[in-house]
Structure formats: structure tokens, C-alpha cells
């Protein structure tokens, strides 16, 4: 990965942090994005200062076009021409039954989990595609088993957003297949990250993992390994693929 220049959205914590750590350890130049916690992002960059690859952090709301444009321009200037994108930034959104849905929170969920993926992919293709002077590259979208199962209790909207990511991955991979750009998704099951630290989250995670054949939650590092594989030349004939990392669930 030493010649790779990558963006990992939502890269300062959880799965994104593990992905960025692996890429930097392999010698890639990496830009992580964060939305609110600048201190955590900058501390993470400092922790990776001894890694073979360069790492920078950029604040960006990936659901806002102006933020996405500024993000990619910063990478152009500081790291070089992009070769890899990991669409990872996402939110759970407001939980509740369909008869409680409000358009405002729903629009915010779509903006981050769907529109942000489209906007970042658009900017990546403008740098990777031979039509724009690029030499190809790879995109990995982070989805969720919620997009396969429908989201579960009170999370139908979240599941729908991840179902859209799956469809986006399948279609975009075919659209770009002849331009040297591979597009795949990693589809995690229950992964032990700080997102479960909210009240009741740990109990809910424990209940959910009892339905997993391996009887445990995944680790962020296990998801990161799958992402790095799909970005690498070892997956040179793999595109439009949804790789489940879910313990058999």
C-alpha cells in the first residue's frame, strides 16, 4: 500500500480508526475526516506519527457538498492524487417506529449515510478515472448487515440507508469496471465500538451477539483487514461485491 493515497471518512474512531491505522502501517498516505471532535482526531494523527505512511485529519460533514469539495482539494494539495476511498462516515439516526418518523431527522440520516457516499465517490472518480487523467483506484463502502436484514427494532430507517449503500456499491462497480476503478462494500455485523457506549447499548449488543453463530461481536480490526484486502492488488479481480464480516450471521 506504499503508493496509495487514501481518504477514510469518519476515521477518528471505531471502525474508521482501525482502517486508517492499518493503511498507515502499510505505508499509505491517509486522510481521515472528523465532524466534531477535533482533539480526538488530532491526537490520533499524533499517535500515528511513527507509522510509515503520512496521516492528516480534515474536518468535513460529508453530507455537505462544500465540505466534500474542500476535503478532496486539501488531499490534492497535501498528499497527492487520490487512489483509494473508504466511505465510512455514518450515523444511526433517530430510532423509532415508522409512525414516529419525522422528515428532518430522516433527511439528516440520508445526507450522511447515502448522499455523503455519493458525493465522496464522485470526487474520488474525478481523480481516479482515466477520463479525468487518473490511473484507476479502489472504493470500499462500509455498509451493515442492517442493510441486508432491514434494520431491526426501531432501526428500519438506518437499515434502509445501508440497503441503499449495498445497491450503490453493486451498480457503481459495474459502471466503473472498464475504468480501472473497483467498488466493493464491507458489510459488518455487530462490532464492538464506542457507538454501543450509549445508555443501554452494551446490553443490546450482548443480546444481539447471542444470535451470532460465533457468539461474539466483531472487532474493528477484523473489519479493517477486510477493507485493506479489498483495496489491495490481491483483490484485483473483485468488484461489485458485498463482503460480509459478521461471524456467520
- In angstroms, rounded to a whole number, what is the distance separating the alpha carbons of residues 6 and 138? 9
- In angstroms, rounded to a whole number, what is the distance separating the alpha carbons of residues 184 and 235? 10
Catalytic residue among 158, 163, 169, 227, which? 158
Alpha helices in the chain (DSSP H): 14-25, 38-47, 65-78, 103-110, 116-128, 146-149, 156-175, 201-209, 220-231
- In angstroms, rounded to a whole number, what is the distance separating the alpha carbons of residues 184 and 221? 18
- Sheet with 84-87: strands ordered across: 55-59, 29-34, 5-8, 84-87, 137-142, 181-188, 241-245
- In angstroms, rounded to a whole number, what is the distance separating the alpha carbons of residues 159 and 215? 22
Q: Known catalytic residue: 158?
A: yes
Residue 153: other Cβ atoms inside 10 A: 8
Residue 247 has phi, psi (to 5 degrees) of: 65, 20
Q: Are 239 and 171 in contact (CB under 8 A)?
A: no
Question: Which sign does the torsion angle of CA 221, 223, 228, 234 carry?
Answer: positive
Radius of gyration of the chain (CA): 17
Active site residues: 158
Amino acid at each position: 500500500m506504499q503508493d496509495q493515497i487514501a481518504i477514510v471518512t469518519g476515521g477518528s474512531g471505531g471502525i474508521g480508526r482501525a482502517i486508517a491505522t492499518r493503511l498507515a502501517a502499510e505505508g499509505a498516505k491517509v486522510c481521515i475526516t472528523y465532524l466534531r471532535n477535533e482533539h480526538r482526531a488530532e491526537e490520533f494523527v499524533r499517535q500515528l506519527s511513527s507509522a510509515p505512511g503520512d496521516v492528516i485529519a480534515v474536518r468535513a460533514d460529508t453530507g455537505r457538498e462544500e465540505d466534500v469539495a474542500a476535503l478532496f482539494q486539501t488531499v490534492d494539495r497535501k498528499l497527492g492524487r487520490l487512489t483509494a476511498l473508504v466511505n465510512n462516515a455514518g450515523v444511526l439516526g433517530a430510532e423509532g417506529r415508522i409512525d414516529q418518523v419525522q422528515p428532518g431527522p430522516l433527511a439528516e440520516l440520508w445526507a450522511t449515510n447515502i448522499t455523503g457516499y455519493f458525493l465522496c465517490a464522485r470526487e474520488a472518480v474525478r481523480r481516479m478515472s482515466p477520463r479525468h487523467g487518473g490511473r484507476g483506484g479502489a472504493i470500499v463502502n462500509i455498509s451493515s448487515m442492517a442493510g441486508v436484514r432491514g434494520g431491526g427494532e426501531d432501526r428500519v430507517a438506518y437499515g434502509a440507508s445501508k440497503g441503499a449503500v449495498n445497491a450503490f456499491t453493486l451498480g457503481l462497480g459495474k459502471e466503473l469496471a472498464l475504468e480501472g476503478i473497483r467498488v466493493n462494500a464491507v458489510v459488518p455485523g455487530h462490532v464492538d465500538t464506542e457507538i454501543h457506549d450509549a445508555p443501554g447499548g452494551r446490553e443490546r449488543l450482548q443480546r444481539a451477539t447471542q444470535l451470532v453463530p460465533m457468539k461474539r461481536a466483531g472487532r474493528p480490526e477484523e473489519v479493517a483487514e477486510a477493507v485493506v484486502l479489498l483495496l489491495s492488488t490481491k483483490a484485483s479481480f473483485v468488484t461489485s461485491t458485498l463482503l460480509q464480516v459478521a461471524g456467520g450471521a
